[in-house]
Amino acid sequence: MITPDEPHWQSELAGSYTDPRALLARLGIPAEGLAAPGTASPFPMRVPESFVRRMRAGDPLDPLLLQVLHSPLEDLATPGYGPDPVGDLPARATASALHKYHGRILVIATGACAIHCRYCFRRHFPYGDFALRQSGLEDVLAYLARHPDIDEVILSGGDPLSLSDERLEPLLEALGALPQIRRLRLHTRLPVVLGQRVTAGLLNLLRRVEAAVVVVIHANHPNELDDGIRAHLRRLGDAAALVLNQSVLLRRVNDNTDALAELSQRLFDAGVMPYYLHQLDPVAGAAHFEVDDATALDIMEGLRACLPGYLVPRLVRERPGAPFKIPLEGAMRD
Ligand SMILES: *Cc1c(COP(=O)(O)O)cnc(C)c1O
Ligand code: SF4
């Protein structure tokens, strides 16, 4: 039920497409041969109209559509692709926090996302078991007290901005006020998926956080950043110390220099700096998105040849157990 005083972003989320046939009908694309699972799938399709509006009608290869539409290829088992590709489970520090890297922990603030990206590395994540509850926050605070070397907390998920401002506020206040915490980071795709999430209330909330707020958004293709989204991102930038973007390198979506160069240009126009370009995490169901390393390095060379250095993202791969995300450039090519 949508109540009249519910912020617009929440009603739009509630009305997301969850039926692939309805989405394809909306875009005027025939659904024949679509072997999509029903909405009972553990990772069903989910995409709000605001994101669909940026897809090209009639184009089954639209780069935004390919990110969200279930492919029959997802059901093929691929060697090397599993349920926990980056070793999240062994890195569990508290019921809701992962501690992999020096000085920062990542808190699973919620399991919910505004969009279900088919390549998501946490698509099999046991959120029911992890997502933060009240006692969970106390455990995180106790863990931080035992680890005074941690100076940054990352709220992730899921998508932390899928929580209402009322639920975010106590989290941001409690964590941001700890003297040891210098930076509070949000990993979120919501400002890109549904720009209206950047409400005046959210901006006020971010401005009140005592620690410096860093927001890392997630956009993969320049078509995700139309004029409206760029305006929302600029407002976000006014309230945060830094806004960065991470992308995943995805076959047929953004595996070419032109798309990624234009993405960097549009990010900069919106006050956002490119951060990471991730090589795909080998999560079961996503193998058809893989781009081989040689192609990835060629694309990076293309980006360096046409962009200022500060607009070139860092190509990285996460390896379970490694102390940081591993840069691919500079490694030996064979
Ligand atoms: C990716 C990640 C981080 C952040 O790494 P940065 O290199 O600082 O961006 C922190 N914790 C976990 C568990 C992560 O997966
Ligand atoms: S927004 Fe992020 S966490 Fe959510 S489905 Fe997409 S990749 Fe996964």
Q: What is the pLDDT of residues 280-313, one digit of tens each?
A: 999 999 999 999 999 999 999 999 999 999 999 9
Mutate to test the pocket of ligand 1, among 101, 151, 214, 245 (most ligand atoms within 8 A of CB): 101
286 in contact with ligand 2, CB cutoff 6 A: no
Q: How far, in Å, is the centroid of ligand 1 from the Cα of 101?
A: 7
> pTM of this prediction?
0.95
230 in contact with ligand 1, CB cutoff 6 A: no
Cβ-contact 319, 159 below 8 angstroms: no
User: Band of the pLDDT at 334, cuts 50, 70, 90?
Assistant: low
Residue 180 tokens, joined: 């040891």
Query: What is the number of domains present in the chain?
Result: 1
Q: What is the dihedral of CA 40, 64, 300, 324, to 10 degrees?
A: -40
334 domain-assigned: no
Atom of ligand 1 nearest to the CA of 316: 7
pLDDT, average across residues 13-33: 93
The secondary structure of 135-165 as a DSSP string is: HHHHHHHHHHHH-TT--EEEEESS-GGGS-H
Cβ-contact 63, 224 below 8 angstroms: no
71 domain-assigned: yes
214 domain-assigned: yes
Atom of ligand 2 nearest to the CA of 123: 8
Mutate to test the pocket of ligand 2, among 67, 119, 122, 249 (most ligand atoms within 8 A of CB): 122
- Nearest ligand, measured from the Cα of 319: 1
Q: How far, in Å, is the centroid of ligand 1 from the Cα of 225?
A: 24
90 domain-assigned: yes
Residue 27 tokens, joined: 């875009």
Residue 123 has pLDDT above 50, yes or no: yes
Here the CATH number for the domain that contains residue 87 is: 3.20.20.70
**Dihedral sign for Cα atoms in the order 296, 118, 203, 153:** negative
- What's the pLDDT at 32? 78
Give CA–CA dist 319/304, Å, rounded. Answer: 25
- What's the pLDDT at 37? 55
189 in contact with ligand 2, CB cutoff 6 A: yes
24 domain-assigned: yes
User: Band of the pLDDT at 1, cuts 50, 70, 90?
Assistant: very low
Q: How far, in Å, is the centroid of ligand 1 from the Cα of 198?
A: 24
Burial class (CB in 10 A: 0-12, 13-18, 19+), 175: buried
332 domain-assigned: no
Q: What is the dihedral of CA 124, 322, 317, 281, to 10 degrees?
A: -10
117 in contact with ligand 2, CB cutoff 6 A: yes
120 in contact with ligand 2, CB cutoff 6 A: yes
What contacts 325, CB < 8 A, 6 or more positions away? Answer: 276, 278, 316, 317, 318
333 domain-assigned: no
What contacts 323, CB < 8 A, 6 or more positions away? Answer: 100, 101, 102
Give CA–CA dist 272/235, Å, rounded. Answer: 11
- What's the pLDDT at 56? 98
Residue-number span of the structural domain to which 190 is assigned: 6-327
- Nearest ligand, measured from the Cα of 125: 2
> Backbone phi, then psi, for 82, in 5-degree steps?
-135, -170
- Looking up tokens 């088992």 gives 77
1 domain-assigned: no
106 in contact with ligand 1, CB cutoff 6 A: yes
Residue 33 tokens, joined: 């041969």
- Nearest ligand, measured from the Cα of 160: 2
Mutate to test the pocket of ligand 2, among 218, 245, 280 (most ligand atoms within 8 A of CB): 218
Per-residue pLDDT tens digits for 219-259: 999 999 999 999 999 999 999 999 999 999 999 999 999 99
Nearest CA to ligand 2 atom 3: 158
Give which of 141, 216, 215, 213 is closest to 180, Cα–Cα.
Answer: 141
Beta strands 104-108 and 152-156: pairing type? parallel
Give CA–CA dist 24/69, Å, rounded. Answer: 9
